[in-house]
Structure 1
Amino acid sequence: MTTFDLTTEEKLREHIAQALERSRARSVLLTDSVDDEDLVRQHSKLMSPLVWDLAHIGNQEELWLVRDVGGREPVRCDIDELYDAFQHARADRPALPLLDPAQARGYVREVRDKVLDVLERTPLEGRPLLDNGFAFGMIAQHEQQHDETMLATHQLRVGSPVLHAPPPPAAPGDRLPAEVLVPGGPFTMGTDAEPWALDNERPSHQVLVEAFHIDTTPVSNGAYLAFIADGGYERPELWSEIGWSHRQGAGLVAPRFWHRDSDGGWLRTRFGVVEPVPVDEPVVHVCYHEAAAFAAWAGKRLPTEAEWEKAARFDPATGRSRRFPWGDEDPTPEHANLGQRHLRPAPVGAYPLGASPLGVRQLIGDVWEWTSSDFRPYPGFRAFPYREYSEVFFGGDYKMLRGGSFGTDEAAVRGTFRNWDHPIRRQIFAGFRCARDADPGLGH
């Protein structure tokens, strides 16, 4: 099963063009919504200036699609080093001689014009980088990933709101079990079939997962408030040694962007809007250590990456792994909260049409979900098309996140998609759900 009909090259080109246009429209929205002063300012040392992200998007597109795929002359070979993410830490990028906003916008437009010409003239087969339009899909995903990064920069920005979106749909109000039993046994993890899957998602392989219970929905703000009220941030027995040391050193007392009001209640700041913390939404902007401490407080644990993927993809009726929890069709607005369509997670229990065969909800979209697993290659992993996408990150302190957030585009998320970050990160749109062991042999 693929994400698009590959029976004709014409349909594939149309699909690619739409993916590229959707990503560029979002990049323009995120950069045109602020003035030039905000574009060049560093809103947090954790993030690049927005203008760096914009030009970096264009530079990667030029390197892969104009020069490599198209074999064309460089547009701006003099800026390659400036926009190489491995050459300069984010904190150092404001001091670089970057393109100014007008230059950056002109550059990405010129690159895109050449890319569309390359798309029209290049056979989409004959080498791995071109088969099924992989290189174009990789670049569309890359831009969407930076769009989500820029959205996180907007969340860190201080000032009046500049982004606006309608609220997500309400939960239907049906009674849901607190958790679901996932039967034990093998399942197929990863993929060989997704044409635009990245190297760390490959190859597909069988994984034996013992039976376990997983929360039906992500952990809500209301549940997290109970953890805070019960002294969760003051009880070292709930935290790992590393987690407790970080909690103390960083002074963590609540999710990032939460603060007390004058009456002792909790408010949050969301894209410039200060509002009461909504108890029915998934908690977001918590680090891995906070998620693990909550799970210990609840008498549970975080799921492993394999457990998360089995809960999201395994169909016990057929024994096969689906592309998404709801099936093999691409996401629609009825399935999941994706693509910056809403600027917040939907209430827990929303999107019943997006549920897995076992009834687990909101596994795709709303919030990235921390798992307990480290970032490791799958058996038989092969770096493609370059080592720096995944391989150089293996073996670090990275923890795996799965499922995407309200800020993730459908091009950059699927049941096999793997995200990773340092366990102390909180500016990302990350939450979690809990799991616990089932009785041995249960569900086989």
Structure 2
Amino acid sequence: MTAQVSAADLVAMLQDSRARTLELVAGLDRAQRMGPQHDIVNPLLWEIGHLAWFHEQFILRGPDGHPPLMDGADALYDSARVPHATRWSIPLPALPETLAYMARVHAALIRRLADREPTPEEADLYQLVIFHEDMHDEAFTYTRQTLGYPAPAFAASASARPAGTGPWPGDVAVGGGTWRLGAEPGGGFVFDNEKWAHPVSVAPFRIARAPVTNAEFAAFVADGGYREAAYWDAEGARWRDGCGAEHPIYWTRRGTRDWTVRRFDRDAPLAPDQPVVHVSWHEANAYCRWAGRRLPTEAEWEAAAAGAPARDGTLDTAKRPYPWGEAAPTPERANLDGGHLGCVDVAAYPAGDSAWGCRQMLGNVWEWTASPFLPFPGFAPDAYKEYSEPAFGTRKVLRGGAWATRARMVDTAYRNFFGPDRRDVFAGFRTVAL
């Protein structure tokens, strides 16, 4: 991400993000927009109103002291004040009123930038609300998957490039050394949990060239991996037994050997060379034990994605914002932005390889790491105080982005974080040799 972001850039991102939100709500009836009460997902009708409230709160009402554009919005849409379980029972406005509120806020944010350029502080706040909407759009996408709704129709899918096919087995060797984990100052907007880069020691390691595939994970299932106690730690075994997991959540046995997988509202044959997706950290960890491997630490993952070999084969101290270098993601380099409406084979996107030879370290699936989500040294919360701090110590770090992640907000320093029990998100993993 560049250090200078113009008003025109911010307006374009605002418009693009909102267009994606509307694509994700389109085609759903009133009942689907609310959905059943659920421990994980939100009512979509509540969530789109929350987006407008968040934009208004952090830009119009925060710096500007603007009066609310909807009476009672705080009592409806403030996620820190409205308990999750109550979001189905509070008196939410109907869709037309909610969309009108969103449009008023959206227009006001654009008017603020008319005929002038933003200050750096304003540009950061605008990017915060845009990326917040991008995150929710990804959540809307996996909500449609969780609830079995039809696949969304993204305009971006019309321009998706052929992606290539096949597996991509084997490891690459990554040299050891001192690595500066996290975001470096001066590179543009970053989230508070990425601040700031600090030295960590990384021993040489071997990491898979690609994420674990469906075929590889199916071998673990077939070998009784979900039943074998040796592969599950105590917390993982409690999770497995509590939810009755015997295979990835959307898989269904077809005949005696083959599997189908539900994608949104339709079943399809399991694609053997696509990455396994919708697996929890516990499932990923159990697979690693079965395979005689392990998950990479967060520092190892970042070194493999953003680092490059020095002349002596150790880790160079220079960091790349993207695995391939400085240039922003394109449809030739990564499966991002929803273009394919799903995963592609792990051999796809050779133009996106890292300097060490790892493929798809951005896009396709988020990748679980072994690391707990913790603050970096000197952490201080930014304007969105509830974003990172409440989650420290309770989540695991994921890196790299998924097919539904927006390219503008993800790079090799971006940290995602979810509880180890979550398997609704677009998460897979790659492994490291012991």
- TM-score tier, shorter chain, comes to over 0.9
Equivalent residue in structure 2 for 1:267, among 257, 260, 268? 260
Offset, 1:162: 5.2
Look up the SS of the partner of 1:134 in the other structure: helix
Contact 1:52 1:83 in 2 (8 A): yes
Contact 2:144 2:151 in 1 (8 A): no
Task: Answer with 83-92 or 421-430: which moved more.
Answer: 83-92
Per the alignment, residue 203 of structure 1 pairs with 196
Equivalent residue in structure 1 for 2:395, among 393, 398, 418? 398
Contact 1:313 1:321 in 2 (8 A): yes
Per the alignment, residue 404 of structure 2 pairs with 407
Contact 1:43 1:157 in 2 (8 A): no
Offset, 1:344: 1.1
Equivalent residue in structure 2 for 1:23, among 17, 31, 41? 17
Offset, 1:105: 0.6
| 1:49 matches 2:43 | yes
- In structure 2, relative to structure 1, the CA distance for the partners of 1:161 and 1:360 (3 Å cut) is closer
After the TM superposition, which parts of structure 1 deviate over 4 Å for at least 4 consecutive aligned residues?
A: 159-162, 164-168
Contact 2:168 2:346 in 1 (8 A): no
Per the alignment, residue 140 of structure 1 pairs with 130
Offset, 1:359: 0.5
Partners of 2:233 and 2:324 lie apart in 1 by: 35
Offset, 1:77: 4.8
Cα deviation 1:135-183 (Å, max 9, x = unaligned): 000011000000000001110223555547467734366x955111110
Per the alignment, residue 174 of structure 2 pairs with 182
| 1:169 matches 2:169 | no
Partners of 1:160 and 1:293 lie apart in 2 by: 32
Look up the SS of the partner of 1:373 in the other structure: strand
Per the alignment, residue 207 of structure 2 pairs with 214
Cα deviation 1:379-427 (Å, max 9, x = unaligned): 12121124212112212x2111111100110133111111111100011
2:292 maps to amino acid = G
Partners of 1:301 and 1:94 lie apart in 2 by: 41
Offset, 1:321: 0.7
Contact 1:39 1:50 in 2 (8 A): yes
Contact 2:285 2:294 in 1 (8 A): yes
Per the alignment, residue 417 of structure 2 pairs with 420
Partners of 1:407 and 1:329 lie apart in 2 by: 20
Number of residues of Structure 1 aligned to a counterpart in Structure 2: 425
Cα deviation 1:341-361 (Å, max 9, x = unaligned): 122111012111111001100
Partners of 2:152 and 2:358 lie apart in 1 by: 34
User: What TM-score do you get using the length of structure 1 for normalisation?
Assistant: 0.91
- In structure 2, relative to structure 1, the CA distance for the partners of 1:369 and 1:406 (3 Å cut) is same
Cα RMSD (Å): 1.9
Per the alignment, residue 100 of structure 1 pairs with 94
2:392 maps to amino acid = F
Please list every run of 5 or more consecutive structure 1 residues that lacks an aligned counterpart in the other structure: 438-444
1:352 maps to amino acid = P
Partners of 1:200 and 1:12 lie apart in 2 by: 25
User: What TM-score do you get using the length of structure 2 for normalisation?
Assistant: 0.93
Counterparts in 2 of 1:118-157, with a 5 A limit? Answer: 118-120=112-114, 124-125=118-119, 129-130=121-122, 133-157=123-147
Per the alignment, residue 319 of structure 2 pairs with 321
Partners of 2:402 and 2:425 lie apart in 1 by: 9
Contact 1:168 1:346 in 2 (8 A): no
Partners of 1:246 and 1:363 lie apart in 2 by: 28
Percent identity of paired positions between Structure 1 and Structure 2? 37
Contact 2:214 2:272 in 1 (8 A): yes
Please list every run of 5 or more consecutive structure 2 residues that lacks an aligned counterpart in the other structure: 311-315
Partners of 2:40 and 2:3 lie apart in 1 by: 40
Contact 1:43 1:156 in 2 (8 A): no
Partners of 1:16 and 1:324 lie apart in 2 by: 21
Equivalent residue in structure 2 for 1:66, among 41, 45, 60? 60
